[in-house]
Structures are given as structure tokens and as C-alpha cells.
Structure 1
Amino acid sequence: MVDVRYDIEFQLYPYAPVAAQTLPAQRHPVVVVGGGPIGMALALDLGRKGTPVVVLDDHDGVGQGSRAICFAKRTLEIANRLGAGQRMMDKGVVWNVGKVFHGDDRVFQFNLQPEDGHRCPAFINLQQPYFEKFLVDEIRAAQSEGAPIEIRGRNAVTAMDQRDDHVLLDVDTPDGPYQLEAEWLIACDGARSPIRDMMGLGFDGRVFEDNFLIADVKMTADFPTERWFWFEPPFKDAGQSALLHKQPDDIWRIDFQLGWDIDRDKELKEENIRARVDAMLGEGAEYELEWTSIYTFQCRRMQEFRHDRVIFAGDSAHQVSPFGARGANSGVQDADNLAWKLDLVLRGLAPDALLDTYSEERAHGADENILNSTRATDFLTPKSEISKVFRNAILDLAKDHSFARPMVNSGRLSVPCVYDGLSLNGPDRLAGPDKTRVGAPCVDAPLQNGFLLDELTGAFTILAINTTPPALPQIDGIPVKTLALSTQEDDPTGALRERYLGDAGCALYLIRPDQHVAARWPTADDQIIANALRTAIGRGRTYDA
């Protein structure tokens, strides 16, 4: 592997001894194992809510290498709520357009965000170390404001013992081992999760018989900032498919599909990588290899994401192929789903069973991602000659016929999961737009002063459009925010009406802290709304479906 090394500014949490290393095991409400983007997003969200959290990471700063690079609109919306989104968009390469080729021929192009009226783009390309850095920077800012977040670098968990009301952890450091206790342990420690292995838990699914070469190339090029994907690319030794798109700092990500039976050491030799890149970019192209790796597709997940007081998130809970950008994006949605639930349980405002719905909802999301990722992989790598003939026939039809284009699968790009039919959903009494149905994440819309999602800041919210909402400052101790909007005064483009009312004249939405719709009505009194909120925090359904 050719490994890129980032500037010293990325070393954000070097090892430092703490007093707890010389004391009996100290109890903490939440311990997060793993300081990647999922662990840091969760810690930031919990800390901003006032819930104390300790992050243990076996390194002392953000990871090296490019790894995840493609961050979706929903991830950016979550990052906005946490305070880091704008820096990510400022640094990242914004793109909405993708092009699909078959050999030399362009099959078609697509726009992932054809409509206006969203603060965030469909995607940005941003190397994962930057994503992590901006989250850690925001944690530092939150700490200075009193948020109870602690990061311990070079603190590696070596053993664990789950007790009735806590988990006992053995932690190794440069100064020797110590122990600490966690009321709740959140494993964000990656696809090879040591916590999962310590607990002897399975990780079931499918490993695809194919290998892909990643090359991050530094060069100055005039290619547009689009996602270009080739089936049967015309350049020499590119394999069955290839992918090109731009990252910040004049870095370009190139993927080559190599096949299954390969000599990995041979393929990773610099001269062989350069031969493939030269064939793609043309004779005489000037570039530097920044980072290279070979990966194999895997689509797997744990059966359950919660195991008593240990909860798994991100790649430790589920893994998908990188085509479609579903790994890190899905993991950030895990953190977004878990933080508000864990906070309410720790405050005694919701039953312990609410945490079971984290597994219910995010396993539902993982299954959706695995299904899409598996279909993409099967389309990319036909397993028989007849499958290849069928695939190529679709590509030929798609050049001239729009009906065939949805069947072309170069990686269905990440969209947020809708929790259709799951247990926290309240009533959907509004004959409103499908895109904002119960279970869906809220869709952004421009307001007279800003954007809608900027007003949904991590609390339960009653969104009242063209109607007066009931006065509910709190329900059973849970704060409830009210946001009253008028399509005449607050909807300069008509997007709010189109996305939330449709043909209805008015609406009431109950929106969860993670910006998913919990319930909606044309009108509702305080008791109806209170019942829906109790359903949304896991106290059982109190209405007729």
C-alpha cells in the first residue's frame, strides 16, 4: 500500500494520562469505543445534549488514508445540526451529476438533486480524515462551552465483562492498563470490531468474489466534478468496470475492478498501478500516487445491534460494498438515531425498551442498504455469460430509451432510510405528500429567513403549517418545541407547501429529534399529540392504525 500522511494538525487527541488510570474503576454513563466518524458524531450529539460520554480510541488522531470519500445530503444535514456541516461543504467537492459509460459510449447522465430549495447538495466528496477532523474540532468547541465529552487517545480496550447494570472494561495505554465501567457501551470500532469478537457475536452475510483496486491520484486535470463510471472501460487493463471522481486538494479517486483470482502483492506494486492509471489518463499524464489499496465486497450485518448494555453502530454492526456510498453515510444515521434515544433513557424519560427500536430501525436501514448494494454488485459483476448478455443489453437500450435507465446499476447512491411500518410510528392522518410521510426524514425547504431543517435542532418539534398548534411546552417531562409557519409569509418559493401540504390546506407534524416524521394530521388536539409522542418514545401505541 502507498500510504498518504496528513499534516500534523490532524493529530487531534494525542495520548495523555488521566487520573482514572491510578484509581479504582470509575463509572461513566456512556463509553464509545472507536474514534472514527460514527463514534465522534455520536459523542458530539450526546455531549451537546448534556449526556457525559468518554471516547476510547486505540490511535491518537484521525486515521490515515482516504477511505470513505462520498458523503450524502442526509449526512450533511446531520452534520449541520451538530455544527460541522458548513466546514465540510466548504472543503468538499460538491457534485450532483453522474455519467455512465459503456466502453467508449456515454449511456446517460443523471442529476441526483434536480430541484432547488435545499441547503445541502446531493453529495460532496471529502476524504474521511477531514470529516473526522471537523467533528473533533466541533467537539473541542463544545468542550469549551461545557459539553461533557472526553476523548482518550491510545486507549485500547483489551477485555470486557458485561454485568447487570454496567460493562467493565480493561483498557491498555502506554502507561499500562486500567479499568473503567460503562452504564452503556457503544461499539463503533469498525468492520473488524474487537468488541464484537470479545462477545463472540456473528457477522453474517455474503462476501463477493471480486477485487477492486483503489488509487487516489494527485493531479491537476480539467475533468468536471462529476461521478464517471465505465462498464467494460475502453482503456487497457481496467478490468470489468472503472470509476473516477474528484476529491479536495486535487486528489482524484480511481477504482478498477480486477476480478477474483489475482496476485494482490503484484497488483499493488507501484509500476503495475501506474500502468493502469496511465492507460486511463493518457500517455504523458503527470500525477502522484497518494494512497492505494485493494478491497473485496462484503455485505453483512449482525442479527441484532443491541446486546443488553452493549450497542453496535456503523461498520461494527453492518458492512456493505463501497459502490453507492452507503457505509459511512449509514453509520452517521445510526449515530443520529441512537443519540436521542440513549439520552432520554439515561434521563429516565423513556423506557429501556426504546433502545430496542434503535436495532429495529437501523437493522431495517442496513437491510435496505445490503439489498441495494448486493444488486449493484451483481450488475457490476455478472456471474454467467447469459447474465452478462442481459446486462449489456440493458446498457445498450439505456442509450436511447429512458425506461431502461433505472435498470442500470452502477451503485444506487445513498438515500436516507424511511422507517415505514415500524413500532415508533404514530398516525398518518394527513393526505399529504409521500416524501414527508410518517417514518420519513424531513425534507428541507427554504424559508423566508433560512431553511426548515435549521429550525429542527434536536428536540421533539410540532411543526404547524397554516394552523395554530396546541400549547405543549413539554409532555411527561420531555421538552416539545413548536414551529409555526405560514405558506403566505414563510414560504417564498412554494417548496414548503409542495413538500409538506400537497393539496391539504394546513397540517400538524410531530417531528422526532433525528428529524424523522413521527406523526402528522390536518388538525389535532393536545391529547392526540401527546399520545403520538408517547408512541415515539417507546411507551406503546395508543391509537388505532
Structure 2
Amino acid sequence: MIHDRYQLAFKLYPYARSADQDADAPVRHPVVVLGGGPVGIATALDLGLQGIPVVVLDDHEGIGQGSRAICFAKRSLEIAHRYGCGQAMLDKGIIWNLGKVFHDDRKVFEFNLLPEEGHRFPAFINLQQPYFERFLVERVRQAQAEGAPIEIRGRNRVDQVEVSDGGALLTVATPEGPYTIEADWLIGADGASSPLRGMMGLDFDGRVFEDSFLIADIRMVNDDFPTERWFWFEPHFKSGASTLLHRQPDGIWRVDFQIGWDVDRKTELQEENVRARLDAMLGDVEYEIVWTSIYTFQCRRMKKFRHNRVIFAGDAAHQVSPFGARGANSGMQDVDNLGWKLGAVIRGEAPETLLDSYDTERVHGADENILNSTRSTDFITPKSKVSHTFRNAVLDLAETNAFARPLVNSGRLSVPCTYDGSTLNTPDALEGGPARTRPGSPCPDAPVSDGFLLDGLGHGFKLLAVNTEVPQGALPVVSVSTESDPEGALAQRYLGDATTAVYLIRPDQHVAARWSSYDAQAVSEALSRAMGKV
């Protein structure tokens, strides 16, 4: 029997009647978020921690079934840490550094993702999506107790949306009948099938890959597999054209089998057929099947993520293949980008046109992810005899030749996006500065005297002063010295060939501008640009 362990106490926000259902006229809210997945809850958390009232409407009452996304990148953990729940995710997750690539029965090579020293978080953790979502919801509960104006309404399904220049009117179905509310701003975080996108007559552009993967989450009784990522091309056990093995918390292992396009899904999901594939792979190993599913992947996005006062994020806006862990991680970067901008607009600190930069920056991020994801998928699932021959030749070379190993693509893993060319950037004025912290870049962490650099850079614009004095003024100043980091990580990441530096850091911890020394006028102009006023 296949057990579903994810049907646990994850019914976190059961239906409860709201005051809006008894109102004589539709109640208007500053922000309404459609969808209670990680992107929707993170959006509500970001805005609520800014003091902006937000209502989440979810047609479910909690966290969905199945492990789904399992690889969460360092940047997602850093964002969650700024919200107050990153450490809990790290404590629960499985840290993995070593990956091994196999072809048939041979190990081609291995790679180590252990990041350079001086970061609070590792490159990746494995953590089932239900846990990731639960930690976000638990942080919402804490924030609510602290006064954050966040409301999550379970079993509130949006059936109709009327969009206008001033917002949206929503018809919401509940177990006790429908009601209507209004929103100044509507955020579509309602997943890949996005009912909101459909109601607005919007669609994706992109590519659907004609292949299918069978997922099996299993618990092995005698678990002696190492905590590593193993990927087989054309595995000798013949359970699929390729196979991926990952460890998860609670003794659960994820196995992905590439099973082809023309398959009978119902037949493939029968327990005896799932076990036949697993038995061929694992041999004489006792295991329990926890959850199974079949997915077909695609690399697509909407043409625009912002449609006046309706904004899309996460899978509702873009979809990628699972190879490289770019789905949920890119969704968290959407939230990271959108939250501070929408907050600034609502507070009247920035013009509405600032939100156009959300569209351009995150479309750029989506295109980058789609490009990498498409390349990974084309390598894993070659669709012609020529591409298949090339793929296998690369694998053969990589076994004994290091130069060929970068060509092996079993999923280029997610990294945060750099917004090169963004209108919010001020031209670089730090001569000899490191390329990795140029304007538009996400700030890399580094050790400082009282912990880690990123701890001081969240929530609002900041000036980062490295080895120099900056007067306290309209912006908070974070002063650091390379003397506090004898290993040199801070100097390497923020100085390069320079001896002093001043950075203007956005609320999402991306670099807006940098100089060799403080100039009040230059900072003022850069801040105006970063707020979309120039």
C-alpha cells in the first residue's frame, strides 16, 4: 500500500467566516494575494512585516500533498531568514554538498557544492515543500501575534475577477456561499494552472517538453545511502532513461525516473509498476512508498508579469523544468523583488512606475532560468540521434578528462539573478571593484565582527561602508572593516582592488550603486533612481 505521510497536521488555516462576508458592500483591501503556496505566503509575510494589510485567499485549508519542490538554494534561505524563519528551515533540512554523475554503471565524475567560507547558509538544503510552507505559515502566526496585519482565509476560492484601473473586484466562493471584496492591488500567486491568469485571458509563451518523469518518495528500512545527489544517464538498472536520487528529511528519499512521453500514467502509477522500477534500481532493499506522482515539464512565461494593478509571481508567471531547482527558488526571488517595491508604492514613497521594474527585472530572471533549464533538459532528454550521440560522447570524455566535465549538464543549479541593465542601477563608480558585487548584483554574505553581513542589510535601504566613515543621515549606515575578517572574504567580495567602498543596498539586498568614498549628492541621486523617480 502506498502511504501518504503528507496528510499530517498541515491543515493550518481551516475555513472560518470573515467579517467581509457579513458586510453590506464589498470591503476594500490594500492587497489581496491569490494562492497559499510558498510564494503567496511569503508575499503576505513580506508586506505584513512592513505594516501593510494583506489578505491571502486560498482554495485549500493548508499545505498541499507530496514533497514537490525539495531543493532550496542559499538565496531562498537568506530571504526566509530576513523574514524570520530561515534558521528553522536550515535546522530541519538536509545539507548536501557532494553530487555524483553516472553513465550506465560507471561513475563519470563527482562535484562539490560546498560554498566558500563566510556564509551563514549552505549552497542548498533538501527540504520537502510542505515543511518550507509550514515554516512560512508559522512565521505568519508569530507576526500576527506581534501585530502584523496579515489574514489567511482557507477554502476561499476566487471564481470571478473584474479588473479596473483602480484595482479589482473579486467574487469569492466559500462553504457558506459567495461574497465579494475589492483590492487596490491583486497578486496572482495561484500556481502553474493559475485560475486568475485564465480569468484574465492571459497565457504563456514557451516550450513544453515531451517527456515524463515518475516521482517516488520512499523510506528505506536499512538506509545506508550517503547524503549525496546521484544522477544516472541511461542507468544500468533500466528503470528509466535517466534517474535522480536525493535524500530528504525524516529518512525520505526522492527518486525521479525518466519514463518517456507516450506513457499511460494510470498504469505507471500502479504500486506494482512503481515497485518494479524501484526494485530494479535498489536491489534487495526493504522500503516503504510514501508518495508518487508523474510530471511533465515546460519552460514558459507570461509576456508581462504586471498588468496594471494585477501582478503575477512564481509559477503563475513562469514555469521551468525541475532540473536545477529553479521553480520555488525563482518564486522566492520574485517575492524578494516585489515586496519592497509594492510597499514603497502603497506608502506613497515611490511612483507606481517603480513596479514596472519588477516586470523587467523578474522577466530577465525568468528568461535566465528558462535558458539554463532548457539547456539542462535538452542534455538530459536529447530528442534526436545526433544530440544523443553528442551527449554520450561528452559523458565518455568527462570520465577521464576534466575539461569535458563542465559540459555535462544534469541540472545547472539555481543561483540568484543579477539585474544587469536595470533602470534602477547607477553606473559603477568603484574602480577595481569585484564583478560579483557590481550594481544589480545580490549581496554575497560575509563574516563581520558581530556575525554575518546580510543580517544588517535587510528591511529598507542601507549604506554599506567598508573601511571608511559615512555620516549618519537619512539612510541607516552599516559600517564594516576588513580587519574583522582575517580570512579576507569581505575584502574579496566588496573591495577587490579598492581599499575603501560605499554601497547603496536595496531592501532586497541587491546593490543599487557603489563608490570608492561617500558623496551625499551621489547617494541622493542613486536613491532616487533606485526608487524609480529618475
Band of TM-score, shorter chain:
over 0.9
Counterpart-to-counterpart distance in 2, 1:128 and 1:327:
11
Counterpart-to-counterpart distance in 2, 1:440 and 1:204:
27
Unpaired runs of 5+ residues, structure 2, are none
Residue 120 of structure 1: CA displacement? 0.3
Does structure 1 residue 223 correspond to structure 2 residue 236?
A: no
Residues 39-438 of structure 1 mapped to structure 2, 5 A cutoff? 39-220=40-221, 221-236=223-238, 238-283=239-284, 285-430=285-430, 431-438=432-439
- Which residue, 520, 524, 529 being the options, matches 2:518? 524
Counterpart-to-counterpart distance in 2, 1:184 and 1:124:
34
Tell me: CA distance 1:501–1:527, structure 2 relative to 1, closer, same or farther (3 Å): same
Counterpart-to-counterpart distance in 2, 1:329 and 1:460:
23
Residue 113 of structure 1: CA displacement? 2.9
Counterpart-to-counterpart distance in 2, 1:119 and 1:286:
37
What is the SS of the residue equivalent to 1:280?
Answer: helix
One-letter amino acid matched to 1:225: T
Report the equivalent of 2:496.
502
Seq. identity, %: 67
Give per-residue Cα distances to partners, 1:433-491, cap 9 Å, x unaligned: 11111111000011122101111122101000011114322xxxxxx221011112x32
One-letter amino acid matched to 2:274: I
Unpaired runs of 5+ residues, structure 1, are 474-479, 541-545
Report the equivalent of 1:477.
none
What is the SS of the residue equivalent to 1:200?
Answer: coil
Counterpart-to-counterpart distance in 2, 1:112 and 1:437:
24
One-letter amino acid matched to 2:520: D
One-letter amino acid matched to 1:511: I
What is the SS of the residue equivalent to 1:454?
Answer: helix
What is the SS of the residue equivalent to 1:160?
Answer: strand
Counterpart-to-counterpart distance in 1, 2:20 and 2:192:
29
Give per-residue Cα distances to partners, 1:356-400, cap 9 Å, x unaligned: 110100000000000011111110111111211111111111112
Counterpart-to-counterpart distance in 2, 1:397 and 1:435:
31
Give per-residue Cα distances to partners, 1:271-327, cap 9 Å, x unaligned: 0100000111112x1111111111111011000000011000000000000111000
Counterpart-to-counterpart distance in 2, 1:278 and 1:7:
26
Counterpart-to-counterpart distance in 2, 1:491 and 1:43:
36
Give per-residue Cα distances to partners, 1:111-168, cap 9 Å, x unaligned: 2234211110111111111001000000000000000101111000000101231210
Q: Say whether the 8 Å CA contact 1:436–1:500 is kept in structure 2.
A: yes
- Which residue, 466, 480, 498 being the options, matches 1:485? 480
Aligned length: 531
Residue 109 of structure 1: CA displacement? 1.1
Q: Say whether the 8 Å CA contact 2:39–2:332 is kept in structure 1.
A: yes
Counterpart-to-counterpart distance in 1, 2:335 and 2:445:
20
- Which residue, 502, 508, 511 being the options, matches 1:514? 508
Counterpart-to-counterpart distance in 2, 1:154 and 1:492:
54
Q: Say whether the 8 Å CA contact 1:446–1:493 is kept in structure 2.
A: no
TM (norm. structure 2) is 0.98
Q: Which moved more, 1:396-405 or 1:340-349?
A: 396-405
Q: Say whether the 8 Å CA contact 1:427–1:532 is kept in structure 2.
A: no
One-letter amino acid matched to 2:403: F
Give per-residue Cα distances to partners, 1:3-62, cap 9 Å, x unaligned: 624364321111000111011110100000000000111111110111110000001111
Q: Say whether the 8 Å CA contact 2:99–2:228 is kept in structure 1.
A: yes
- Runs ≥4 residues deviating over 6 A: none
Q: Which moved more, 1:110-119 or 1:288-297?
A: 110-119
Counterpart-to-counterpart distance in 1, 2:486 and 2:184:
48
One-letter amino acid matched to 2:349: L
Does structure 1 residue 536 correspond to structure 2 residue 534?
A: no
Counterpart-to-counterpart distance in 1, 2:302 and 2:197:
9
Counterpart-to-counterpart distance in 2, 1:353 and 1:3:
50
Report the equivalent of 1:543.
none
Counterpart-to-counterpart distance in 1, 2:2 and 2:161:
35
Counterpart-to-counterpart distance in 1, 2:2 and 2:503:
51
Counterpart-to-counterpart distance in 1, 2:382 and 2:323:
16
Residue 523 of structure 1: CA displacement? 1.3
Counterpart-to-counterpart distance in 2, 1:320 and 1:100:
22
Q: Say whether the 8 Å CA contact 2:115–2:122 is kept in structure 1.
A: no
Counterpart-to-counterpart distance in 1, 2:262 and 2:193:
23
Q: Say whether the 8 Å CA contact 1:448–1:492 is kept in structure 2.
A: no
Residues 2-13 of structure 1 mapped to structure 2, 5 A cutoff? 4-6=4-6, 8-13=8-13
Counterpart-to-counterpart distance in 1, 2:438 and 2:219:
44
One-letter amino acid matched to 1:481: P
Counterpart-to-counterpart distance in 2, 1:164 and 1:6:
42
One-letter amino acid matched to 2:175: P
One-letter amino acid matched to 1:173: T
Q: Say whether the 8 Å CA contact 2:167–2:310 is kept in structure 1.
A: no
What is the SS of the residue equivalent to 1:30?
Answer: strand
Q: Say whether the 8 Å CA contact 2:2–2:288 is kept in structure 1.
A: no
Tell me: CA distance 1:197–1:2, structure 2 relative to 1, closer, same or farther (3 Å): farther
Give per-residue Cα distances to partners, 1:515-545, cap 9 Å, x unaligned: 00111111131110010011111112xxxxx
What is the SS of the residue equivalent to 1:348?
Answer: coil
TM (norm. structure 1) is 0.96
Q: Say whether the 8 Å CA contact 1:44–1:139 is kept in structure 2.
A: yes
One-letter amino acid matched to 2:294: I
Report the equivalent of 1:472.
473
What is the SS of the residue equivalent to 1:10?
Answer: coil
Residue 427 of structure 1: CA displacement? 2.1
One-letter amino acid matched to 1:105: R
